[in-house]
């Protein structure tokens, strides 16, 4: 039995470290937070029971070793985690020892800030708790973070950089390919903070809220008052409520769920609630373990879920021609919202679940945001399974084709429509072309584009710039008045003088997103002609920073296609 437990510990250490790597470095977690916490708790219990704890156990370190191209910085004060609980009783017991406060545990990336003589001099990520990455250049773009504060000397602050839910949903709407969308605001925030190009960070509206003062403010005895002082300096304040010996279990639970409702009302992504002792001297006297400080505890709600019935699959087409499976569910309630649909990502994901209409499934809202099919409770014993997928595109009726692609370090099977001129695909192409990261043309929603296409006003992308010539036709449509037409015409006129980077994003060239497009714009000084000469010639794009041979081949392949060049030639006079 002892040997079995040691083997189980070794397995959990290996598996959880892999999950940490996926979570902290690759921003592509393969399990939910609730699943990770359950396995972490099992590991902790086994280590305590057996006295056996490998040196690389996640119970003795935070996160995972930092990776990437950013400069690594050793923390003079370790940035550790907190012990976790799912019991309100644990908070009651702690509050009876010494008063404290409950605050939202923001779900983003922990960042340490250093101010010297009132100026932000350094910002670093938590990394593995001992070593982080230098991100001062991106931190200066955070909302809710003042670059200068009226404080002499040195002040060190830890807090959370995050992206609120409305911004997260807007950014995901602008990404057509389901496989490329971000799974959680935390993943998006992590990637945004660790960008080499701070312009990318600024465009994603990263916010910052401090949760602790690591050094400085020694004359202020209460930690809550230290945070209030930061708010006076211009920092955003994390919503919080007091907790003391007068609170019983019911009172604490009400406060926990009140804070959860506050987060939902304000679109804040959270990972629970933190209880912190308020007396700074008392909190410091409690010390720490190798994994966490003892000055507080994190209460975890867990991912809300429900059980429902899987009724079938709907296939949505993207501008790349990918057909994404969407689970149709018997309506169920999760966290005060009705869930009827959930993305199934790709053929491999569906096959893994062995889904058949009528199956009982468990659906969660990961990080309380995205509906996700977690488990098929009817698949037990179903050894034989063949996924049935459409052999014809549900939009145009053309044949479909299965292709392999890499996603999160795994090879997955994805379904595509073979028709490059599929109407469904074309609508998505038009919608992407006019989106904010591309040509930024206001007044052309997907529904409006569909109406214009049905009326024969839009056939080619270049027809978008001819819309002002159809004023009488457009003004005759429901919902279009003089003012809305004028606004559309004005937006079209402004788009004609867009930057090279926006034009490249609008063309939907594989592997050329906003960041790569800006790199190209810089390399060619915004000159469209110079870039086209390079793309249709023998220029080696892999010579550019962050570009590889695959990207180089993709650019040349795209611009060697006659149909693509025809599109470019039609657009350039616009």
Task: Please give the torsion angle defined by the CA atoms of residues 438, 442, 444 and 446, in that order, rounded to the nearest 10 degrees.
Answer: 60
Task: Please state which of the ranges 10-14, 180-184, 356-360, 537-541 shows the lowest mean pLDDT.
Answer: 180-184
Q: Which of 5, 86, 105, 471 is catalytic?
A: 105
Establish whether 105 is a catalytic residue: yes
- Residue 196 phi/psi, 5-degree rounding, is -75, -30
pLDDT at 563 over 50: yes
**Which among 192, 197, 132, 131 is positioned nearest to 162, based on CA atoms?**
192
Task: Please state which of the ranges 110-119, 399-408, 430-439 shows the lowest mean pLDDT.
Answer: 399-408
pLDDT at 396 over 80: yes
Do 403 and 414 form a contact (C-beta atoms < 8 A)?
yes
Mean local confidence (pLDDT), 310-327: 91
Do 107 and 209 form a contact (C-beta atoms < 8 A)?
no
Q: Determine the Cα–Cα distance for residues 493 and 405; give it in Å rounded to an integer.
A: 39
Q: What is the pLDDT of residue 156?
A: 95
H or E element, residue 549: helix 549-560
Mean local confidence (pLDDT), 529-556: 90
Task: Retrieve residue 370's tokens.
Answer: 């995205």
pLDDT, tens digit, for every residue of 481-517?
888 899 999 999 999 888 999 999 999 898 888 778 8
Task: Retrieve residue 528's tokens.
Answer: 């469209």
Q: What is the pLDDT of residue 69?
A: 66
Look at residue 469 and give its three-state secondary structure: helix
pLDDT at 324 over 50: yes
DSSP 51-117: ----TT-GGGSSS----SSSPEEE-SS---EEEEES-HHHHHHHHHHS-EEEEEEE-SEEEEEEEET
Structure pTM?
0.60
The neighbour count for residue 235, using CB atoms within 10 Å, is: 20
Helix H segments across 344-481?
Answer: 347-353, 423-434, 446-454, 471-475
The neighbour count for residue 481, using CB atoms within 10 Å, is: 9
Task: Retrieve residue 484's tokens.
Answer: 């809305």
User: CA 216: distance to chain centroid?
Assistant: 33
Do 549 and 573 form a contact (C-beta atoms < 8 A)?
no
Mean local confidence (pLDDT), 225-254: 95
Task: Please state which of the ranges 239-243, 300-304, 406-410 shows the lowest mean pLDDT.
Answer: 406-410
Look at residue 418 and give its three-state secondary structure: coil
Q: Determine the Cα–Cα distance for residues 493 and 68; give it in Å rounded to an integer.
A: 41
**Which among 561, 525, 520, 522 is positioned nearest to 541, based on CA atoms?**
520
With the C-alpha atoms ordered 406, 411, 414, 416, is the resulting torsion angle positive or negative?
positive
User: CA 270: distance to chain centroid?
Assistant: 13
Do 214 and 157 form a contact (C-beta atoms < 8 A)?
yes
Residue 129 or 190, more confident: 190
Q: In terms of DSSP bridges, do strands 81-85 and 292-299 run parallel, antiparallel, or are they unpaired? A: parallel
Look at residue 279 and give its three-state secondary structure: strand
User: Over the chain, what is the mean pLDDT?
Assistant: 87
Band of residue 61 on the pLDDT scale cut at 50, 70, 90: low
Task: Retrieve residue 71's tokens.
Answer: 């400069």
Q: What is the pLDDT of residue 64?
A: 46
Q: Determine the Cα–Cα distance for residues 312 and 332; give it in Å rounded to an integer.
A: 15
pLDDT, tens digit, for every residue of 342-387?
988 899 999 999 999 999 999 987 655 678 898 899 887 788 888 8
pLDDT, tens digit, for every residue of 260-286?
999 989 999 998 999 999 999 999 998
What is the percent of the chain where pLDDT is above 70? 92
Inter-helix orientation angle 88-97/249-265, to 10°: 110
Task: Retrieve residue 516's tokens.
Answer: 């790569």
H or E element, residue 17: helix 2-20
Q: What is the pLDDT of residue 67?
A: 41
Band of residue 467 on the pLDDT scale cut at 50, 70, 90: very high
pLDDT, tens digit, for every residue of 114-159?
999 999 999 999 987 888 899 998 998 899 998 889 999 999 999 9
DSSP 129-148: SSEEEB-HHHHTT-BT--SB
How does DSSP classify residue 392?
B
């Amino acid at each position: 039995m002892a040997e079995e437990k040691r083997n189980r510990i070794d397995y959990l250490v290996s598996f959880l470290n892999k999950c940490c790597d996926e979570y902290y470095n690759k921003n592509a977690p393969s399990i939910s937070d609730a699943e990770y916490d359950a396995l972490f708790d099992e590991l902790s219990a086994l280590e305590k029971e057996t006295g056996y704890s490998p040196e690389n156990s996640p119970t003795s370190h935070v996160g995972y070793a930092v990776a990437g191209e950013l400069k690594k910085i050793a923390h003079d004060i370790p940035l550790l985690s907190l012990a976790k609980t799912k019991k309100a009783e644990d908070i009651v017991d702690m509050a009876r020892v010494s008063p404290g406060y409950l605050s939202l545990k923001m779900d983003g990336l922990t960042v340490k800030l250093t101010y010297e003589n009132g100026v932000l001099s350094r910002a670093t990520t938590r990394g593995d708790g001992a070593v982080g990455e230098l991100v001062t250049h991106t931190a200066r773009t955070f909302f809710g973070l003042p670059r200068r504060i009226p404080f002499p000397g040195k002040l060190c602050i830890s807090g959370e950089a995050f992206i609120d839910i409305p911004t997260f949903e807007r950014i995901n709407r602008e990404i057509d390919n389901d496989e490329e969308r971000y799974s959680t605001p935390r993943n998006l925030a992590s990637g945004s903070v660790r960008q080499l190009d701070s312009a990318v960070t600024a465009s994603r509206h990263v916010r910052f809220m401090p949760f602790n003062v690591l050094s400085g403010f020694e004359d202020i005895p209460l930690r809550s008052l230290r945070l209030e002082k930061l708010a006076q300096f211009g920092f955003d304040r994390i919503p919080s409520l007091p907790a003391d010996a007068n609170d019983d279990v019911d009172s604490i639970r009400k406060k926990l769920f009140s804070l959860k409702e506050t987060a939902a009302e304000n679109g804040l992504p959270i990972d629970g609630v933190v209880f912190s002792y308020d007396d700074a001297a008392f909190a410091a006297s409690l010390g720490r373990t190798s994994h966490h400080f003892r000055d507080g505890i994190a209460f975890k709600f867990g991912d809300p879920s429900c059980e429902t019935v899987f009724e079938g699959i709907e296939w949505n087409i993207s501008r790349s021609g990918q057909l994404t499976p969407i689970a149709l569910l018997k309506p169920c309630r999760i966290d005060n919202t009705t869930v009827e649909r959930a993305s199934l990502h790709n053929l491999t994901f569906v096959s893994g679940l062995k889904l058949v209409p009528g199956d009982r499934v468990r659906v969660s809202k990961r990080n309380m945001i995205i509906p996700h099919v977690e488990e098929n409770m009817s698949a037990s014993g179903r050894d034989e399974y063949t996924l049935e997928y459409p052999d014809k595109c549900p939009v145009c009726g053309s044949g479909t084709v299965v292709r392999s692609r890499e996603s999160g370090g795994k090879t997955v099977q994805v379904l595509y429509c073979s028709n490059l001129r599929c109407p469904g695909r074309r609508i998505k192409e038009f919608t992407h072309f006019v989106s904010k990261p591309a040509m930024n043309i206001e007044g052309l929603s997907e529904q409006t584009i569909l109406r214009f296409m049905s009326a024969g006003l839009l056939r080619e992308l270049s027809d978008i710039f001819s819309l002002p010539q159809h004023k009488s036709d457009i003004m005759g449509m429901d919902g279009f008045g003089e003012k809305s037409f004028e606004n559309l015409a004005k937006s079209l006129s402004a788009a004609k003088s867009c930057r090279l980077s926006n034009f490249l994003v609008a063309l939907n060239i594989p592997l050329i997103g906003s960041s790569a497009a800006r790199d190209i714009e810089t390399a060619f000084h915004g000159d469209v002609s110079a870039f086209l000469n390079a793309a249709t010639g023998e220029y080696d794009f892999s010579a550019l920073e962050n570009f590889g041979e695959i990207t180089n081949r993709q650019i040349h392949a795209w611009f060697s296609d006659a149909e693509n060049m025809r599109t470019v030639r039609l657009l350039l006079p616009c």
